[in-house]
Structures are given as C-alpha cells and as structure tokens.
Amino acid sequence: MPGVDGFIYPNEVELQWSVLIVLYPFLTGLVAGAFILASLERVFNVAAVRPTYRLALLTALAFLLVAPLPLQMHLGHPERSFSMYLTPHRESAMAMFGFVYLWYLMAVLVLEIWFDYRKDLVLAWRASRGLKRKLYGVATLWSDNISEKALRVDDRIGRFITIVGIPSAFLLHGYVGFIFGSVKANPWWSTPLMPVVFLFSAIVSGIALVLLIYMALCRIRRVAIDMPCVDTIARYLFYAFLIDFSLEMLDLIHRLYEADESLRALDFMVKTRLFVSQIVLQILLGTLLPIALLAMVQLLRFSERTRRAIYAAAGALTLVGILAMRWNVVIGGQLFSKSFLGYTTYKMSFATREGLLPAILILILPFVILAVLIKVLPPWTGGGEEKPVKA
Amino acid sequence: MDCRERASQVSRASGRLRVEGASASLAGAAAEAGRTTSPGQDCRAPTARPPERSGDHGVPASDGERGSGGTKSPGQEINRRAFLEQAGRFIILTGAASLAWDYVLAGTPQAAPNYVATDHWWGMIIDIDKCIGCGNCVRACKAENDVPTDEPGCYRTWVERYQVRPNDMEHPIVDSPNGAYDGFPEIDKPGDGVKVFFVPKLCNHCAHSPCVQVCPVGATFESPDGVVLVDKDRCLGCRYCVQACPYGCRYIDPRTHTVDKCTLCYHRITKGLTTACCEACPTGARQLVDLKNPADPVHEFMRTHKVHVLKPNLATGAKAFYSGLDGSVR
C-alpha cells in the first residue's frame, strides 16, 4: 500500500486527527500563555510588563474564541457538538474540557476584561451618541458608577479573578495535555508528563506571541518599544523555555532509558518521518536556537536595536518550534501503528474541510478578531506613558 | 449518570434494535445466514422466559381478572378498548414485535419474552490453530452488516497472517491484504523454520473499554450483556474513541460520518443466532460464547485450553479470548 511501511491494522490507513487538531492545542496554549503573562503584572506585581497587560488579555480572548473552531470543523457531525454540554459523558476527558473552556472564557477572561475596562466603557458610553451609545450601554450593563470606591472594588475583583485565573489557565492547557496523555493505547501520548509539558510549552508560546504582537503594534503605531518591558518579557520567556526544554528532555531520556517495546517504532519515526518537524524544526530551530539567543541577551550586552532584533527572531522561532511540537504530538502520534509493526503517512490536502487552507485561515482569524478588539477596547490607555519613536 | 439510569438507557437502545429486527422478521441476510448453519456449530436458542404477568410492565390484565356481567359495565368498555388495541397491534406489527410492544412501551424492553440482556455476557473464543485464513468471516461480516467494501480502512473484522522466524519473535512479518477479504496470496518461500499462522481480529468488547470511557457524549456504550455498541444518532464523529481503541477496531463510516465497529451482530445474537463471522467460519475457529450461561461450552473450553487476550497489559477487560496465541501477535 502506498505510504505504508511494514504492517498497520487495516483500519489505520487513514489518520483520524488532521492538521486542524494540531491547531487546537496550539491556539489553546497561546491563550493560556498570554494569560499567564498578564497575571505577572496583576498578581505578581511585575510592573515592567504593564504595557502588555491589556494586550495580553485581549490576545488571550481573541485566540480563545477561535480555539474551538478547528475542533468544530473536524467533527463528523458538528451540529451535534452542543450535546457535549447537554448530555455530557462525565468520564470523558473531552466532554469535561467543554466545561473547562466555558469556565475559562466566561468566568475568567470575559469577566476580567470587563472589570478592567469598565471605566473606559462608562466614559465611552457617556461620550457617545445614537446606536454607539446603546451598544456601550449594553457593554457597561447600564452601570455608570465609576467613583473611586467603585473602581477600587473593580480592581480588587479583577485581582481576585486573576488569582482564580492562573490555576484556571493551568487547568485549561493542562487539560488539553491530559486529553492526549490519558490515551493509554498510544505510547507516544500516554505519559503523565504530557499535561505538564503542554502547560510549559503553552506558557512559552503565549509569552512569545504577546512579545511579538507588542513589538509589531509599536512599530505600526510608531511608538517607541518599552525596552524594560520587552527585556523583562524576554527574561521570563527564557526561564519558561528552560523549564519546558528540561521537561521535554526528561520525557525523551525516560523513554530512551526505559526502552519499552514502543521505542523501536518511535525511534524509527523520529529518524525518518518526523526528522524535519521534530529534530530540525522543534528541537534545533524552535528550541535550542531561541534559548541560545535569549541566553546571549542575558549574558552579553547588546544595543537596544540588536536586542529588539534578537527578541523578534527568538519569538518567531519559538512559535514555529511550539507549532512543530504540537504537530509532532498530534500527527506523529498517529503515524505508527498500534501494532508497533508499521508506519503510515499523513497526506495533507489543501482546499478541503480539513486541509491546509482552512488551517491557515483559522490561524489568521484570531489576529482579525484581535484587531477588532483593539479598535473597540484600546489596550494602551491603561498602559502608562508612551513615547513616540525617535526620528 | 448512575448505573440504573445508564442500564435503562442502554436497555432502551437494545430494545430499539430488537423491535426493528423483529418487525423485519429476520429478513434478508440474517435469514440467509440462519439457513447456512453448519451442523457442528452452536447456533443458540433464545433464552426462553415467560413474560411477567399483569401490570408490572404495562401488560393488560386478562378477561377473567376484569370480570364480566350482563349489564354494560366499565369492564366491557375496557374490553372493547383492549380488543381494538390488540387488533391494531397485530395489524400494524407482526407477531414477535407485538409481544414485545408492551414491554417497550413500559420502558423495559429487556423484559420482553424473547431476550433478557442481563442474562448474558457475550464474548468470543478464537482458536488460532483452526483458522485457515480463508476470509469467509470478513466477507460474511461485510455482507451482514453493510460494511463498505470499496473504501479503504473499513473493517469490523479482519484476519492477519503472521510469519515468525525462529528465535525472532519481536520482528514478525505480518500482512492482511484488504483485511483478508479475498483471503491471502500464497507465500512463495516461507524460509526454513518460519512459523506461519492466521489471527482473526475483531472488537474485543472490553469490559473496561477505553473507547467507551473517552466518548464525550456517551454515544459509545457497553450494553448490559457485555457488547460495546455505538448510537449513531448521538455520535459526534470526533474520533476520540478511534484513538483510544488499542486494537484498531474502529473506523469512521464514510457514509454516515460516525464511528462504526463490530456489534457482535447484536441484531442476531439477541434472537438466539450466532454472529455472521462465526456462522461463516468453515473450521469453527471463532465461537460466540455466553460467559453467563453455565451450559455454554466456553467454560469447558477455558478449563481445558490455555487462552490469552490481546494486550493484557492495558487491562481493558477484553472478551475476545485467543487459544494458541503466539507471543509475537500484536
């Protein structure tokens, strides 16, 4: 059979989870990571990252809104997906994820953004006329109390929500890892480390994304990049990356040392079908190179301009590396037969429901939503003083 | 959902299956398969059980219980109504379905006279030494269950051929061309000392099914008689169960976009027939077994043979028991 080496069970010819399912943990990870970055300022009082606080929240919301879309498009019967909420199977990790998602969206992100933006919304409501005024009225829930006392209460609630939000963000992405890690039929996935690895890779990718978006927006708005802010973010990215890489290496070393019967299949796969995506993209370009770049900044002195270039390169490489990691988990986990006696190939189509084109569109969509959110809820007003770019 | 709720839901599902089957009066392939039963094979009789009397399951009381008199009484009204009901049932439904109808209406289809789900615990014995790799079982299964034959990767059952070199159990050469639908091509030169044997595969109907555990909406469930079934009207087509099955027994039906798998011919076994694959096997390599039936030969077989299940380390409670299973089989 073309594309098949050795023996696979006859039903394993077609890969069940496509590139869309690769996007699902990738997008969810970006959400969790962006939120963790936002919480640095709110809960841990890291004042330097304040310019990215609101941007990180809006980024998390934009990506969270899109996160279920690839899942939905992948379903054989998307019209039945709501039954996961109505008649969930409580033993199913996937069913419970629906509730974790809803909790995170409604009880954490939307609430926190609302409390943080309430003053801006009320001011906009007061200043606007006609339909716009009505819309802002709905957004404020017709409450225009922005007295100092009310704002203090808002701030306290916002802080509380962030504190609840941190374990929720951990839960959100840890749970995605659990969905894969709990499949005992698949040795590539089945490890208790999976949720932890997913979580730290999520933090890494979310921080890198917000760093890139912040730098890009500053460039677009012709505003000077707050260097202490990006230096701090880059430092946190470096630390998170070290933990993430250590965990991934621990997983790898454990597999190599334990060398159970699946290792032969996995070893072969990494050396052949996954060589480019795993060794080249994920480990060399997507992990070691950005770690080296970020380490250089920590150890050596560079000009602001060089640092900005390094951060942009490291951020972009990180995103490529984490996307490759998701690919290697989702697609890689399906390339070998559960008989461990053979391998199949993933043939990605282009303009089909689960092809490359919808995957690209899904990746673009959060940026469109973010642009709209930024227009409606400008994140800069609360971000401290901004300086124009020096000519 | 507690156990009772779940059992009732499952019973409703099994009831639905049975009534549909009964109204079809074992038409088509099932009847065809029934005629071809070989004398040596076990084609079980249904577990006969008299229907429970009056009231409990919505069964109407007999005339004697209601009493009769010369004057027009409420009892006569009920008699007329009962008569019309009965007549209507027999006109609309055929005999077997009519008998079960009261129980179905009462929400207790498992109490219908022809089959009691909780009295059974189905499994299968596969005797590797008897399998000749003819593929009859694969063809019978596809014909009986309308499994696509023109699409790749759609098999409720299949047969694998193993070639194991001496002292090299870890690297067997395995093939299963088209799931053995057309049997196997001859091996040119198997080599010195190479061991060749066939392994029929099907859903293991695990008692602790990983596929059932992961289904987000409970569309995949274990019936009270130990059969893992799929409710196609609920299945989302998320394919999580396909990933969770360690044996590769599930596939997506390209026509319905829902998951499909071996049902152990539930429509047949609940009528006392054996599965299509067992029916068609010329050597009796596959035997449907009822582990709850003390008279079933399975108990004697288990006592006198060394049996094994696939991937026992995964603790799925598999109920496809293999006799003569080689260590190289995955």
Strand-pair partners of B321: B125
Contacts with B63 (C-beta within 8 Å, 6 or more apart), sequence order = B79
DSSP annotation of A383: S
* pLDDT value at residue B86: 75
Q: Tell me which residue in B179, B215, B243 faces A89 most closely, judged by beta carbons.
A: B215
B-chain residue closest to A77, CA distance = B236
Assigned token pair, B258: 């829902």
In angstroms, the Cα distances linking A278 to A257, A319, B19 are: 19, 14, 53
Which tens digits make up the pLDDT trace of B168-208? 888 999 999 999 999 999 988 777 789 999 999 999 999 99
Which residue, among A319, A309, A290, A169, has the nearest Cα to A230 in the 3D structure? A309
Q: What are residue B202's DSSP bridge partners?
A: B157
pLDDT for position B91: 67
Task: Give the list of residues 6+ apart from residue A237 with CB closer than 8 angstroms, or none.
Answer: A204, A207, A208, A211, A294, A314, A315, A318
Nearest CA in chain A to B258: A76
Tell me if B236 and A184 make a contact (CB, 8 A cut-off): no
**Whole-structure pTM value:** 0.83
Q: Which of B201, B210, B237 sits opposite A76 (nearest CB)?
A: B237
Which stretch of A384-388, B57-61, B286-290 has the lowest confidence by average pLDDT? B57-61
Phi, psi dihedrals of residue A370, rounded to the nearest 5°: -65, -40
Residue B12: pLDDT band with limits 50, 70, 90: very low
For residue B199, the chain A residues in CB contact (below 8 A) are none
pLDDT of residue A198: 95
Strand, coil or helix: A343: strand
CA–CA separation, A339 and B311 (whole Å): 10
Task: Return the higher-pLDDT residue of A322 and B61.
Answer: A322
Contact B153 A13 (CB under 8 A): yes
Those residues with Cβ within 8 angstroms of residue A312's Cβ, 6 or more apart along the chain or in another chain: A212, A215
The tokens describing A6, both together, are 């050795």
Residue B22 has pLDDT above 70, yes or no: no
What pLDDT score does B210 carry? 97
- By C-alpha distance, the chain B residue nearest A72 is B238
The amino acid present at A79, given as its one-letter code, is E
Show the low-confidence residues of chain A (pLDDT under 50). 382-383, 391
Confirm if A231 and A281 have CB atoms less than 8 A apart. Answer: no
Cβ-Cβ contacts under 8 Å, B216 against chain A: 84, 88-89, 92, 94-95, 98
A5, containing H or E segment: strand A5-6
pLDDT of residue B140 exceeding 70: yes
Residue A185 has its nearest CB partner, among B160, B217, B246, at B246
- Does this complex have an ipTM over 0.90? yes
Q: Which residue has the tokens 């919301």?
A: A61
Judge whether A335 and A269 are in contact, CB under 8 Å. yes
Asked if B324 is an interface residue toward chain A (Cβ–Cβ < 8 A), one would say no
Q: Does B257 touch chain A (CB under 8 A)?
A: yes
Of B172, B249, B257, the CB nearest to A11: B249
Identify the pLDDT of residue B33.
Answer: 36
Of residues B106 and A200, more confidently modeled: A200
Q: Which of A292, A181, A309 is nearest to A241 (CA)?
A: A292
pLDDT tens digits, one per residue of B225-253: 999 999 999 999 999 999 999 999 999 99
> Which residue is it, tokens 């590139």?
A19
Angle at B184 between CA B183 and CA B187, to 5 degrees: 160
DSSP A279: I
User: Average pLDDT over chain B, rounded to whole?
Assistant: 78
Which of B217, B234, B326, B329 to mutate against chain A (most A CBs within 10 Å)?
B217
Given a cut of 50, is residue B48 above it in pLDDT?
no
Give the mean pLDDT of B70-81: 56
More confident residue, B65 or A305: A305
Partners of A80 on chain B (C-beta within 8 Å) are: 217, 234-236
